[in-house]
Amino acid sequence: MKQIRTEIIGVGTELLLGQIANTNAQWISEKLAKNGFNVFHHAVVGDNLQRVINQFTHSESRSDIIIVTGGLGPTEDDMTREAFQQISNLEMVEHKPSMDKIETFFRKRESVMTANNRRQARVFKGAEAIENEVGMAPGMIVQHQHATWIFLPGVPREMKQMVEHRVIPHLKQQTGLQTVIKSAMLRFVGIGESTLEDQLKDIIQKQHNPTIAPLAQNEGVAIRVTAKASDDNEANQLIEKTKQEILSVAGAYFYGSDEETLPERVFSLLKTQGKMIAAAESLTGGMFTDRLISLEGASKVCSGGIVCYDAKVKENVLKVSPDTIKKQGTVSEQCAREMAENVCTLMDVEVGISFTGVAGPDYSENNPPGTVFIGVAQKGKETFVKKFIFQGDRDIIRNRSVIKGFELLWNLLKIA
């Protein structure tokens, strides 16, 4: 059976300028994948007639289904129809139901409809028009040469309605495709992408269905497992089997699936174990506490935190020993230890965590940027402090410190 090649084109200079993100392509790709369609290409082209023509010509040479979003509005820079007419020579006609809707829109608002609004009601002769239930410009499905062309508005709410109500059903009926493509994300922390891939090389080398792809993420590494099957149940079974193979090798680093985050996993462990946590934050400036308390129900696990950026706050509020600050400095193992222990005592919680270090760009206390100490104290247990050297700018160093703090807590709590 021939593989169906699908392509998505976004039309609009604003996409190229970065003024808006091309979320349409992402959303459409996800919907197509769930219904078994492989998207081979994404393309973005600005509002220039010749460039749009060139892109359409190139896309037609390589794809079976071409979905175009944007460029169907009333203004002169909306030229999707004009570009396609140049390569197809198809006649454009006014779609009366859409024109009636546009005229009614202006009449109800007692405003004058300018002539250019008639542009929005134009469709290609013989095309299957797609009613715009939440806007004005209709979409359309056109067969030309070997390809199916689908033209959709760029406004997300208008596009989504058309894709779900008309486009997906049409494509499934047209192709007879009875498959689904489903993915699961397995999330790991405490192991690098290259190391994880090396550990899984035997599984990856024999992959076929499902396929396996390592992906670097903000919170560690993810493995995407993608299965193609006749239905959701079969896809889930294929994914689960591969997941268990992966976890048999790298399960020690696995913390969650799909959209689960590391803060959520730590939150869940704290809640299950009935423990409260508080944080003493210097270089992170409250970032750790913010991520924890942004979760619903955080008051059950987090009593608060102390932002102690200045040495005087560490000494006067957090009660870090003046002798420690004088002799060892604020960027030291001993300072991190006292910060964690003291916030645990002051807040009367079971777990205290501390962050102190140098975010940069300059040295501090003879420590280079990226030097970070994280301490974790528990009532009735020995406090531990870990030193790290992170690379990057201030934001990256601070963010990595917070993630590492959650990683340390996850490793600690999951064996409690």
- Supply the pLDDT for residue 136: 87
pLDDT above 60 for 1: no
Nearest residue to 3 via CA among 35, 51, 40, 30: 40
CATH 3.40.980.10 at 5-175, yes or no: yes
Q: Cα separations (Å) of 325 from 307, 353, 357, 383?
A: 17, 18, 13, 19
Q: What's the rounded Cα separation, in Å, for the pair 343 and 354? A: 8
pLDDT digits 0-9 by tens, 250-289: 999 999 999 999 999 999 999 999 999 999 999 999 999 9
The domain segmentation of the chain, as residue ranges, is 5-175, 180-257, 262-413
Q: What's the rounded Cα separation, in Å, for the pair 416 and 414? A: 6
CATH 3.30.70.2860 at 180-257, yes or no: yes
pLDDT digits 0-9 by tens, 348-401: 999 999 999 999 999 999 999 999 999 999 999 999 999 999 999 999 999 999
Q: How confident is the model at residue 18 (pLDDT cuts 50, 70, 90)?
A: very high
Q: Cα separations (Å) of 315 from 36, 56, 284, 349?
A: 61, 67, 18, 20
**CATH of 262-413 given 3.90.950.20, 1.10.3720.10, 3.30.465.10, 3.90.1170.30:** 3.90.950.20
Mean pLDDT confidence for 194-223: 91
Q: Cα separations (Å) of 252 from 263, 385, 410?
A: 18, 21, 11
Enter the DSSP assignment of 185.
Answer: E
pLDDT above 80 for 416: no
Q: How confident is the model at residue 158 (pLDDT cuts 50, 70, 90)?
A: very high
pLDDT digits 0-9 by tens, 235-247: 999 999 999 999 9
Mean pLDDT score of the chain: 94
pTM attached to this predicted model:
0.76
Identify residue 49 by its one-letter amino acid code: L
- Supply the pLDDT for residue 2: 65
Q: What's the rounded Cα separation, in Å, for the pair 266 and 406? A: 7
Q: What's the rounded Cα separation, in Å, for the pair 69 and 156? A: 9
